[in-house]
Amino acid sequence: MVKKSINSIKVSTYIDRSAFYKVVYFFVGIINYLIYLPFSEIVHIHFSEATSAKRKNIFLLLAILCHKKTILHFHAFSPETSLFGKSQLLYKKMFQRCDVSIALSNIWKDEMIKLGVESKKINVIYNPCPDILFNRNIQNKQNNIIFAGTLNERKGFKDLINAFSSIAERYPDWNIVLAGNGEIQEGEILAKKLNIEKQVRFIGWISNEKKVIEFSQASIFCLPSYAEGFPMAVLDAWAYGLPVITTPVGGLPDVLEHRENALIFNPGDINKLTENLELLITDIKLREKLAAKSFELSHTIFNLNNTAQQIDNLYLSLNK
């Protein structure tokens, strides 16, 4: 049997710029979409929170009007603000109209079923770890605890600063590195207030070589988030073989096991976060164990090739 080749075209509809630029970018996306739509067999739509759903519903309706097979790939970070928020009816109609949908985890699948989506229409496909060339045995590790993501309340970056401040004096050779845009000034003020500004470094948004350097040199990854779909930053940490401290939010409970492949604490529990930070700082063997588990996850369940194959199989099943 010869496998049918799959060609895909990506159409972007959102950019993180000014309101005017966002509107222009969106309408350019619609024009590109309308150009390619007649020649496509399957339309794979990614969407998340309510604003995204309202935009992407236009694309879904156009695809259905043109009798195309449709896939809805759901990336929201909170059931309360998406599936069961003010736009609940919109989400329900979108999932009813599409041919199949993709959930980021079994937990998210359960939430979709609560909304009324048929279980047989939901495929669980994890986001993959990035495919990077990385040697986890590199020798240039530094005593850095890295956070990556937007610096805002939902990501809990201030919880990390507060937790670390309780132990910073005992471990003067350890530092926090916060990678991401957002409330940098507020973070700097907090670090100074807690007298740990010399042990807290804000590096802004990082990518490419800078990202490789910072993740490679870090010894611990921490994401104290309050809500997620399936956090890409944790996937990055696994790819770089970093021991992870995080909260059991979004799809993470599908795979997280405390002290087996991560250290876990409930969102907002700063005392437990402090305890976990100190545990990994002082217990080198546990760090090495969790690092090995991270690397294993990135090469098995969350391997890019596995995810790509699942997507390919879904496309082929719709195209029979």
pLDDT at 15 over 60: yes
Closest C-alpha to 220, from 147, 161, 130: 147
Topology alike, domains 19-127+303-318 and 144-299: yes
Cβ neighbours, 10 Å, residue 111: 19
Phi/psi at 3 (5° precision): -75, 130
pLDDT at 137 over 90: no
> What does the pLDDT read at residue 18?
85
Q: What is the pLDDT of residues 143-181, one digit of tens each?
A: 999 999 999 999 999 999 999 999 999 999 999 999 999
Q: Structure pTM?
A: 0.90
Q: How far apart are the first and last CA of the chain?
A: 13
Closest C-alpha to 227, from 128, 101, 85: 85
The answer to whether 220 touches 286, Cβ cutoff 8 Å, is no
Tokens, residue 98: 């599409």
> What does the pLDDT read at residue 305?
93
- Averaged pLDDT for residues 187-205: 97
| Domain 144-299 is found in CATH 3.40.1390.30 | no
pLDDT at 262 over 60: yes
Q: What is the pLDDT of residues 4-14, one digit of tens each?
A: 567 888 999 88
Tokens, residue 291: 């690092």
Distance CA 256, CA 218 (A): 21
> What does the pLDDT read at residue 4?
53
Closest C-alpha to 316, from 11, 41, 36, 75: 41
> Candidates 3.40.190.10, 3.40.50.2000, 3.40.1400.10, 3.40.710.10; correct CATH number of 19-127+303-318?
3.40.50.2000
Distance CA 9, CA 33 (A): 9
pLDDT at 90 over 60: yes
> What does the pLDDT read at residue 96?
97
Q: Give percent of the chain above pLDDT 90.
A: 88
Q: C-alpha 45: how far from its chain's center?
A: 17
Kindly list the domain boundaries of the chain, sorted by start residue.
19-127+303-318, 144-299
Contacts of 22-29 with CB under 8 Å at 24 or more apart are 26/55
> What does the pLDDT read at residue 1?
32
Q: What is the pLDDT of residues 40-73, one digit of tens each?
A: 999 999 999 999 999 999 999 999 999 999 999 9
Angle, CA of 25, 28 and 31, to the nearest 5°: 155
Distance CA 109, CA 237 (A): 24
Cβ neighbours, 10 Å, residue 2: 4
